[in-house]
Chains A and B, each alone.
Chain A
């Protein structure tokens, strides 16, 4: 199973085995990773699963759709490497992906 690493603003890091096909958001929620709220449950309607993707990984991910970027506009402190974790689908290619959760989601 691909390993996904979640780092919070304090630098605490957790690496989780996430099943292929789940989203990075689901991996977090199912494993009690704090810092990802996912209020809308993954329907790309709330921007509370916002993460920063490590630069080396950011360009490897399939590009965000317009609708995702529109939602990221609403997120707390978006950056160039911001993504919604509900839109990143885990696969073998993403083994080792590292994301950082923002200081807060709202």
Chain B
């Protein structure tokens, strides 16, 4: 069981800056994120896209923004629990108890949800019958390559992941690569190899095709694919791999009894607290009149929420507003030596 002043859900830019705002006030926090790295959408969706509206930073990439934020919060030594999702929360004597999908328990007076649009999950093929084969013969990521040796594998997708796995698995399995249009999007070098393997008959490429149906048995035996002209082809298949990127799902948060507005959580703008005392929502996931989904708005929301967190975590202390330029105490917390 981990006791802390604040649990931050989401390690995107806003979640990371929250660590800073809490840290300079002397509050300890723990961050939990479902992804395998910090940065949220900035890293997962657009690591290389330039961002032009971070105040005083004329241009930066999602990656450099994340790296700089991690640098900025380094002095606080805050733990970021990655690959982990908060599954349930409950209240106990004015404190919140959180449980994750990895069976970790956190106890805290404050939860700040900086969850963006939710946690990232792989997008799936649009065929209900595939659900029962998931994890057995239908996969949306590869964790164990040995399961994929000497098999008949149908890979769906047209981006880097689909191409890379098609190349790799064609070394020891019979691979069919299926994509909804003729163009693939991959590194030039990858596309060249793909072409070569295709010409050598080592990979079968089916475009423009999409999944149509599968056999109706206990085991996956074949799939049928359909092109734009309704032409149907049957492909013998033991394993289906789908690579359609990631989608954001709100997940368990919707069951926590928070006032929601579509996919966002309603907050008051004084301290970004939700209808539940001690639960805050900031960044893209919160809504209030005039809300803008900008990173800079999230930073502002983090600052205000951190003040209320202080009051709740230190009920016997008086909150004092201080500037980093002049406060010796803040500078100590930041490890600045003069």
Q: Which residues of A contact B (CB under 8 A)?
A: 37, 39-41, 43, 45-48, 66, 69-70, 73-74, 76-78, 80, 106
Q: How far is the CA of A55 from the CA of B159 in the complex (A)?
A: 27
- Contact partner, A39, options B46, B117, B185, B245, Cβ 8 Å: B117
* Structural contact, B179 and A73, CB atoms closer than 8 A: yes
- Distance in angstroms from B52 CB to nearest chain A CB is 12
A106 and B249 in contact, given A70-B159, A73-B158, A78-B180 (Cβ under 8 angstroms): yes
A48 and B45 in contact, given A73-B185, A78-B180 (Cβ under 8 angstroms): no
A40's nearest neighbour on chain B, judged by CB, is B45
- Contact partner, B46, options A43, A47, A78, Cβ 8 Å: A43
A106 and B123 in contact, given A46-B247, A73-B157, A80-B228 (Cβ under 8 angstroms): yes
Query: Cβ of B41 < 8 Å from any Cβ of A?
Result: yes
Q: How far is the CA of A2 from the CA of B245 in the complex (A)?
A: 34
* Structural contact, A73 and B117, CB atoms closer than 8 A: no
A70 cross-chain contacts in B, Cβ below 8 A: 158-159, 185
B46 cross-chain contacts in A, Cβ below 8 A: 43, 45
A80 cross-chain contacts in B, Cβ below 8 A: 228
Query: Cβ of B198 < 8 Å from any Cβ of A?
Result: no
* Structural contact, B181 and A73, CB atoms closer than 8 A: yes
* Structural contact, A41 and B185, CB atoms closer than 8 A: no
A40 and B41 in contact, given A69-B181, A69-B183, A74-B245 (Cβ under 8 angstroms): yes
* Structural contact, B45 and A46, CB atoms closer than 8 A: yes
Q: How far is the CA of A78 from the CA of B249 in the complex (A)?
A: 20
* Structural contact, A37 and B263, CB atoms closer than 8 A: yes
Pairs across A and B, CB under 8 Å, 16 listed: A39-B247, A39-B263, A40-B117, A41-B284, A43-B46, A45-B46, A46-B247, A48-B247, A66-B183, A73-B181, A73-B185, A74-B123, A76-B123, A76-B126, A77-B210, A80-B228
* Structural contact, A74 and B244, CB atoms closer than 8 A: yes
- Contact partner, B41, options A45, A48, A66, A77, Cβ 8 Å: A45
Query: Cβ of B171 < 8 Å from any Cβ of A?
Result: no
A76 cross-chain contacts in B, Cβ below 8 A: 123, 126
Contact with A along B151-183 (1 / 0, CB 8 A): 000000111000000000000000000011101
B180 cross-chain contacts in A, Cβ below 8 A: 73, 78
Residue among A40, A48, A78, A80 with the highest chain B CB neighbour number at 10 A: A40
